Structure 1
Amino acid sequence: MYFFLSNLSFTDICISSTTIPKMLVNIQTKSQSISYTSCFTHITLVVIFVNLENFLLAVMAYDRYVAICHPLRYMDIMSPRLFALLVLLSLLVSIGDGQIHTLRALQLSFCTDLEIPHFFCELAQVIKIACSDTVIDNILIYVSICIVGGITLGGIIFSYIRIVSSVSGMPSRGKV
């Protein structure tokens, strides 16, 4: 559990580190714009770290499920190799999703200057200011949210349903 908590903490630090420095610079310079290059870098990093956080929460729910429902087999099921594999798989899927969105957004054409009037660059805002057709980008966002969100939320809900059913099925000691 501490392995996953440390990875989750690192992911939270990374999410903050992608947004806070630019915000502080904007406050200092009293400017609220971001270049397209910085914007696409920001989009990629935010998508990667948010997805990674969601996957890590799902992996942690699975870890708790195994610890509570199969306590005697926990070390056999959740080996250090599986820990590393689950975190690596979460990272690879997150990077892939972030790259897909960024590469797709890079193909858009923009009518404005090479600055976006926000300090926080969000994919939906970039798509809004694009001059080219953005239907595929919007569909890609919704499909990605449904798949990533569905897998992680489904995993979390499944794990906790199994935990609750396992705990409620255990015999309890009556009061003497």
Structure 2
Amino acid sequence: MISQDIQKVLIEETQINERCKELAAQIEADYQKRGQVPVIVGLLKGSVPFMAELIKRFTFPCEIDFMSVSSYDGTESIGDVRIDKDMDLSCKGREVLIVEDIVDTGRTLREVKKLLKRKGAADVKVVSLLDKPERRVVEIEADYIGFRVPDEFVVGYGLDYNQKYRNLPYIGVLKPEVYR
């Protein structure tokens, strides 16, 4: 059982679902005010559960796409951001909403935003399930944040450790002995 590796639950599934409803309503209202519909781009793999929960609450017609970017080795951000899979859709002249699982150091998000702007995106906004500001090493903030979390190793609801624990329906703190 993977739950035995969890030290504590930080955010319950019901809290995540409720916050997704609130975020979706806020995002939709903001885009409607501007008369825009964004292309929604999930950053693989961690954003998938959050993105699925979020987009099912939008009433506007969604176009979705994915990018696969990496900057981690185990528990540490290595600082080198690699684009492993780029978007299939063009973002030229379009509003883009990046869906991220967590903003940690900020390196990955900064590089993805720069890339999309170089490709001609009209605007790039970010919604992140989690924000861990204590770990930030570059100046960047998400436009929409689900929850702020302490500087602990969190897993679940898409977040992983060595590709495991993504399927937990909540956000939990991994026991240190699991990753040491």
TM value normalised by structure 2 = 0.26
Q: Which has the higher contact order (CA 8 A, sep 6+)?
A: 1
TM value normalised by structure 1 = 0.27
Bigger share in strand: 2
Greater Cα radius of gyration, structure 1 or 2:
1
Bigger share in helix: 1
